A and B are shown apart, each in its own frame.
Chain A
Amino acid sequence: MIYLDNSATTKPNPAVLKSFEQVTERFFANPSSIHQFGGEAERLLMKARNQAAEMLGVGQNEIIFTSGGTEGNNIAIKGIALEHQNRGKHIITTEIEHPSVYDACSSLKALGFEITYLPVDHNGVISLTDLKNSIRKDTILISIMHVNNETGSIQPIEEIGKIAKEHPKLFFHVDDVQGLGKVPLQLPESGIDLCTFSGHKIHGLKGTGILYVNNRTTLFPLFHGGNQENAIRSGTENLAGAVAMVKALRLIKEREKEELNNLYELQKYLLDEINRLEGVVMNTPLHSAPHIINISVPGIKPEVIIHMLGEKDIYISTKSACSSKQKDESKVLTACGFNKERSISALRISLSYDTSKSEIRQFIHALKIAVNQFKEVME
């Protein structure tokens, strides 16, 4: 199998899976239980939290374990909105966010919130001037993703953070689900108040994630109950999930440190090969994340290519998995200014540190055959 849909999800690392199993089996006590057994579970949770904090360079009380990206984004956006609505009801986000941000923001319109969706340029990047101009007195939140899940475009988070810092009354949330382990992001001193991470995009497990919430930020919780996770997310802790998340984080950080250049080289090889293919156009901008490549084969329905490759045990995707069931064009590509023909025919190839050059070679070969076959039929 050649698996090139790593932005949808990744294969769990066996070491992560093993830790999950062992924790589930051995430390199944409720960390809130006061007996020794519960105490052990609590210590393990604390240790996991400390390790995550250390790796992200933040405080251990700033780590909230979640069930993943969608939950993290919802807690952050709705939590800020509900907690700080007295200050104002204006939120700024972008046209190219993941649905868990885009739709979470839209949902708040019903509560009287106003949402500004910043446009992006051809490279899929927002304009800082636009952002500055959009900030109002009643703006309480800026939510902008780090790496786009469809095109791999990277937003200038550092600069946005500086702008956010000039407006201490608003909060800045970053969805870093796609960037984690691939595109370095500095949390401390960055102006970022909240940041969402997901486990299953970094060879961890589904149902695991971290939301960074810095000390100055207060949230209205979506779940009330036993006040776990700083009372931001009540519910018996998923200790095995938290441990698995932190282990996955450690392992991906190690690979990022050692293999990021290889990944860029691999991407360059893939880009060069694709650029030589006739009838295939590149949607991914020049400066993008190393693991996402978006292309269009205008005139060919992307599903056809997906299935032709699938028959050869090669797996890529159309747009993001979370919106691929909708038949219309890609919202992200449309926002980038691509015409309809191009934005309905997009394909996403997403790599991992496990992807090899030979897999890419085989993929290119199969793609070439698929495109040619289809063209012959059409002609």
Chain B
Amino acid sequence: MQYDHILIRYGEMALKGKNIKKFIVKLQENIQHKIKDFPEAKVKRTQGRMFVLLGGHDPEPIIEKCKHIFGIQSLSLAIKVDNELEAIKDAALYALENSEDTRKFKVTVKRINKDFPVRSQDMNQILGGHLLSNTNNITVDVHNPDLEIKVEIRLEATYITSSVIPGLGGLPVGTSGKSLLLLSGGIDSPVAGYLAMKRGVQIEAIHFHSPPFTSDRAKQKVLDLAKQLTGYGKSVKIHIVPFTKLQQEIFREMPDGYAMTIMRRMMMRISEKVCRNESILSMTTGENLGQVASQTMESMNTINEVTNYPIIRPLITMDKTEIIKISQEIGTYETSILPYEDCCTIFVPKSPKTKPKREKVNVYESKKDFTDLIEDAVAGIEVVKVTDQKDLDSVFEDLL
């Protein structure tokens, strides 16, 4: 006997109305994609439930994959047996014996198939007795069990599940449209991307690259971060904007205190153009209220003036420590803290305005025509796509 499938529960999605189908189909697709290295494993939906049929594969690595998929509330290993008492007893015992650190357990039987001759209450007792007599030092505790063994006697078969493994929750990536993530290489933006993805958003990223002031390693770092985000989705397209000329021009021509604000406005303008070209309906940033000069209320008001596209700011009210905690959990922290200059750190004004004003910025900007520089930057964009698959070259390298 062994666990032959994983039961997938999708909490919040179950609350959806008529369009629930769309969410479930997407989830199924996302799970199937993540487990494609396990050729025999299949994702199936029957009667409002989703299963991963293991097809003989070891469950552990597949569970590990499922733990990185948004839209899964929780999952449990399960055994499917025929509607026969002896088989159900064996399976329940297997579930108990293969759980970790169980001292107190509880059996819950649901008899959906009323043709099954033993009633739920009686089944509880039969199974409980069977488990007690075949194990040592384990007791029944219906109020506070370490393990609840659930037995569902359905029409086609009986399903036995035990430990509930929490999933990430959220909505399946791809069900909430696309957003353009402003990805800098710092700690915050990857976390913002992750949280947007958690709400079902598919991410594309934009990165402002200022060679030779920012190095190829800084660019690679951004690609690496995007690659880490694909762990929670499928792929991320990164738009790398050549930003050197525009940036130099801003810092040369604009008043020192406003240069940073204007640079941010330029970034928003370019991002909006990318959104339009790619049919993306929003932007996502790692902005965090009060963290730096560009993230004061006044700065945001001034910077936001140049676009009326919605800006998703998942981190806006978080504490830095909360952000760091998430970045550590999702594995982007170590990459984020690599010390390469990015375009925001190379030209730092001596005293950036923390309270810039819209009127003043507009006056400054009107003195210089940036249109061509913006157009050039957009035209020079390099698009790189990273996927969650191990790239072929490194696969080849291992083989050779």
CB of A43 within 8 A of CB of B392, answer yes
> In the complex the two chains form, what is the Cα distance from A331 to B400 in whole Å?
39
Q: Which chain B residues border A246 with CB–CB below 8 Å? A: 400
Q: Which of A44-52, A142-150, A262-270, A358-366 contacts B (4 or more CB under 8 A)?
A: A44-52
Flag if B396 contacts A250 (CB, 8 Å): no
Please state if A40 and B392 are interface contacts (CB–CB under 8 Å). Answer: yes
Chain A residues contacting B396 (CB-CB under 8 Å) are: 43-44, 47
Q: Which residue of B is nearest A26, CB measured?
A: B395
Chain B nearest Cβ from A59, distance in angstroms: 18
B399 located at the interface, meaning its Cβ lies under 8 Å from any Cβ of chain A in the complex: yes
| Least distance between A47 CB and chain B CB atoms (Å) | 5
How far apart are the CA atoms of A47 and B393 in the complex, in Å? 9
* Chain A residues whose C-beta falls within 8 Å of the C-beta of B393 in the assembled complex: 47
Which residues of B lie under 8 Å from residue A74 when comparing CB positions?
none
Scan residues 381-400 of chain B and give those whose CB is less than 8 A from a CB of chain A.
Answer: 392-393, 396, 399-400
- Taking the closest CB of chain B, its distance from the CB of A114, in whole angstroms, is 43
Which of A22, A44, A48 has most chain B Cβ within 10 Å?
Answer: A44
Cβ-defined contact, B400 with A48, below 8 A: yes
- Cβ of A243 within 8 Å of any chain B Cβ, yes or no, is yes
A251: min CB distance to chain B, Å: 10
Question: Closest approach, in angstroms, between the C-beta of B38 and any C-beta of chain A?
Answer: 13
User: Is the CB of A77 closer than 8 A to any CB of chain B?
Assistant: no
The answer to whether B399 touches A247 (Cβ under 8 A) is: yes
Size range of the interface on A? 10 to 19
- B392 cross-chain contacts in A, Cβ below 8 A: 40, 43-44
Residues in B whose Cβ lies below 8 Å from that of A23: 399
Q: Is A19 an interface residue (CB 8 A)?
A: yes
Minimum distance in angstroms from B125 CB to a CB of chain A: 50
Chain B nearest CB, measured from A45 CB (Å): 10
Residues of A within 8 A of B399 (CB): 19, 22-23, 44, 243, 247
- Identify which of residues 22-40 in chain A touch chain B, using a CB-to-CB cut-off of 8 Å: 22-23, 40
- Alpha-carbon distance between A161 and B393 when the two chains are bound, in angstroms: 38
Distance, CA A31 to CA B392, complexed state (A): 15
CA distance A40 to B400 in the complex (A): 15
State in angstroms the CA–CA spacing of A23 and B400 once bound together: 10
A23 to B395, CA, bound (A): 10
Q: Given the complex of chains A and B, what is the CA–CA distance between A247 and B398 in angstroms?
A: 10
Contacts of B400 on A, CB cut-off 8 Å? 19, 47-48, 51, 243, 246-247, 250
- Give A247 to B399 CA distance when docked, in angstroms: 7
The CA of A47 and the CA of B398, in the complex, are separated in Å by: 12
In the complex, what residues of B have CB within 8 A of residue A44's CB?
392, 396, 399
How far does the Cβ of B373 sit from chain A's closest Cβ, in whole Å?
39
Taken together as a complex, chains A and B put the C-alpha atoms of A246 and B399 apart, in Å, by: 10
Q: In residues 322-352 of chain B, which contact A (Cβ within 8 Å)?
A: none
Cα separation A243 to B393 with both chains bound (whole Å):
14
Task: Give chain B nearest CB distance to A332 CB in angstroms.
Answer: 36
B366 to chain A, nearest CB (A): 51
Q: How far is B34's CA from A261's CA once the two chains are assembled, in angstroms?
A: 49
A contacts, CB < 8 Å to B: 19, 22-23, 40, 43-44, 47-48, 51, 243, 246-247, 250
Give the top 3 A-B pairs by smallest Cβ distance, nearest first: A19-B399, A47-B396, A51-B400
Can you pick out 21 interface pairs between chain A and chain B where the beta carbons lie within 8 Å of each other?
Answer: A19-B399, A19-B400, A22-B399, A23-B399, A40-B392, A43-B392, A43-B396, A44-B392, A44-B396, A44-B399, A47-B393, A47-B396, A47-B400, A48-B400, A51-B400, A243-B399, A243-B400, A246-B400, A247-B399, A247-B400, A250-B400
